[in-house]
């Protein structure tokens, strides 16, 4: 029993060729699943049924994120740019809009809801993203060929 548990935990910690332990792939898949379920519940009703004059840019962007999260369940590492994008735009929002509006006290009516959803992402994404893998593959790796 103990040896089974030990071998399971060894398997979870072992890294394949991508240098990412198995538990990390599960964490990533859990994040995509959270997007599939949480973002889906929030965004699909808005896309399906909305005011005839709604501009629809934000719901469409989020709906695109939702649809591609399904691919992330199958290919969590290959779809990392999607999570990097999540982290990037939410950080941009927090720095350029969220925090300044928080401190100034001048806030749009949607502020509380946006702050909760976006700050959650800014805290969660850095914990989920395998930064070593990102560093090796998206920074240090040789660029795709130029000639």
Interface with another protein (CB under 8 A): 11, 16, 18, 22, 25, 47-48, 50, 52-61, 63-65, 67-68, 71, 74-82, 84-86, 88-90, 92-93, 96-98, 100-101, 104, 106-108, 110-111, 114, 118, 137-138, 141, 143-147
Q: What is the DSSP string of 28-93?
A: HHHHHHHIIIIIHHHHHHHHHS--TT---HHHHHHHHHHHHHHHHHH-TTTTHHHHHHHHHHHHHH
Q: Kindly state the smallest distance separating residue 61's Cβ from another protein, in Å.
A: 5
Q: Which is nearer to another protein, 36 or 89 (CB)?
A: 89
Q: Kindly state the smallest distance separating residue 18's Cβ from another protein, in Å.
A: 8
What is the C-alpha to C-alpha distance for residues 22 and 85, in angstroms, rounded to an integer?
23
102: tokens are 């928080």
Q: Kindly state the smallest distance separating residue 139's Cβ from another protein, in Å.
A: 9
79: tokens are 């779809």
């Amino acid at each position: 029993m103990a040896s089974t548990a030990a071998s399971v935990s060894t398997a979870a910690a072992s890294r394949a060729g991508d240098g990412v332990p198995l538990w990390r792939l599960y964490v990533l898949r859990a994040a995509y699943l959270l997007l599939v379920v949480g973002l889906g519940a929030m965004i699909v009703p808005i896309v399906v049924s909305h005011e005839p004059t709604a501009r629809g840019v934000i719901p469409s962007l989020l709906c695109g994120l939702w649809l591609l999260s399904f691919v992330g369940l199958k290919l969590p590492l290959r779809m990392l740019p999607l999570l990097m994008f999540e982290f990037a735009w939410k950080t941009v929002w927090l720095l350029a809009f969220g925090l300044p509006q928080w401190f100034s006290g001048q806030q749009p009516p949607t502020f509380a809801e946006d702050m909760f959803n976006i700050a959650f992402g800014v805290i969660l994404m850095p914990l989920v993203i395998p930064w070593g893998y990102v560093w090796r593959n998206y920074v240090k790796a040789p660029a795709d060929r130029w000639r």
